[in-house]
Amino acid sequence: MGDSYRDLIAWRKAMQLVSEVYSVTQAFPREELYGLTSQLRRAAVSVPSNIAEGQARFSPREFCRFLSHARGSLVEVETQILISQDLGYLSISKANALLKDSAELGRILNGLVASIRNAA
């Protein structure tokens, strides 16, 4: 599993997604600051946070549980990206780029869970 959560590709990709989400939400309407902007940022931040917390547990079962939480937050992010696109806050191309990154991260998380379960 590596020495640190920072060694995990999933964590690194999740951190990149957080940066992208913060970047695109800066252009959201001011009235969304405590609404969609906040929700989308919080869900994005939850993904690498859960990966890190799970890895720190030193229990394969616990790690998988936290990776499941990360996956749940990731689908929240995807849903909120689609809502943002529907409301006209994100262009189709920007939404698609974020969804592509999110889907890649989802596949990485699924692979990580599978490798942990196979090793246990």
Domain ranges of the chain: 5-119
Q: From CA 70, how far away is CA 79, in angstroms rounded? A: 14
Tokens of 40: 């989308």
Whole-angstrom distance, CA of residue 89 vs CA of residue 92: 10
Query: What is the pLDDT at residue 73?
Result: 98
Give the tens place of pLDDT for each residue, 10-28.
999 999 999 999 999 999 9
**Burial level of 94, CB count in 10 A (0-12/13-18/19+)?**
middle
pLDDT score recorded for residue 3: 66
Question: Which homologous superfamily does the CATH classification assign to the domain defined by 5-119?
Answer: 23S rRNA-intervening sequence (1.20.1440.60)
Q: 18 with 2: CB under 8 angstroms?
A: no
Q: How far apart are CA 91 and CA 66, in angstroms?
A: 32
> Do 96 and 36 meet the contact criterion of CB atoms below 8 Å apart?
no
How open is the CA angle 53-119-60, to the nearest 5 degrees? 25
Q: What is the pLDDT of residues 32-76, one digit of tens each?
A: 999 999 999 999 999 999 999 999 988 999 999 999 999 999 999
Q: What is the pLDDT of residue 105?
A: 98
Q: What pLDDT score was predicted for residue 1? A: 43
